[in-house]
Each structure stands twice: as C-alpha cells, then as structure tokens.
C-alpha cells in the first residue's frame, strides 16, 4: 500500500511496517536554510562595516598626527629654530639659503 504525504511517500514493507520515503526537503528546512544564509550575510556586512570604520578612524588619527607635526615645525621655524640642524638663528631664511639649499618645504612634511 502506498500513499503520498506532503513531502514523500508512505508505504508498507513486506512485513507490514510503515515506512516513509522522503522526497526532497521540507519547506521548513528550505526557509531555515535561507534564514541562516541571510543572517550570515548580515554578519559579514556588519564585519565589513566595522573594518571600514576602523580604517577610517586610523586614517583620521594619522592625519591628525601629521597635522600636529606640521604645526610643530611651523612654530619652531617661526621662533627661529632651523628644522634641519635644530639651532636658533636670528635670520632663519638666510641660514636656510646658505646652509641647506636643497631643503624644501615638502621635505618638512
């Protein structure tokens, strides 16, 4: 005797035991698998967003540190301290032109 169930076929063996032959997977299993797959994608997106946030914060810290170094050098030069040899001069422009002619503003940054 055979009868069709929602996901397979019920049948009886030669000894009269009821058996169920499953055909494919149930709708519940499909939905559960889809839910798990979507949850995994959400977790991956959250990880990606967290990594991007950390990279952005690190770049902002590096930018702030570089800006602080530039400000420090400008202040020192403004007070007459040579950025190359760290000596104090009354006329820093003349000293830079004579002693450090290859020094450029880009080298300080």
The overall longest dimension of the chain from CA atoms, in Å, is: 112
Domain extents in the chain: 25-64
Q: What tens digit of pLDDT does each residue of 20-74 get? A: 777 667 788 889 999 999 999 999 999 999 999 999 999 999 999 999 999 998 8
Q: Supply 26's token pair.
A: 């149930």
Q: What value does the mean pLDDT take over residues 5-22?
A: 73
Is a pLDDT exceeding 90 seen at residue 14?
no
Alpha carbons 83 and 25: distance in angstroms, whole number: 74
Q: Which position has the higher pLDDT, 17 or 68? A: 68
Which class for 57: exposed (0-12), middle (13-18), buried (19 or more C-beta within 10 A)?
exposed
pTM for the full predicted model:
0.55
Alpha carbons 103 and 109: distance in angstroms, whole number: 11
Which pLDDT score, from 0 to 100, does residue 108 have? 53
């Amino acid at each position: 005797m055979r009868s069709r169930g929602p996901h397979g076929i019920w049948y009886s063996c030669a000894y009269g035991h009821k058996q169920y032959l499953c055909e494919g997977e149930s709708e519940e299993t499909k939905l559960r698998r889809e839910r798990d797959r979507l949850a995994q994608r959400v977790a991956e997106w959250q990880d990606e967003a967290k990594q991007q946030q950390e990279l952005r914060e690190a770049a902002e810290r590096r930018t702030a540190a570089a800006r602080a170094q530039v400000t420090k050098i400008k202040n020192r030069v403004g007070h007459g301290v040579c950025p190359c040899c760290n000596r104090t001069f009354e006329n820093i422009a003349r000293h830079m032109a004579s002693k450090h002619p290859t020094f450029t503003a880009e080298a300080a940054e």
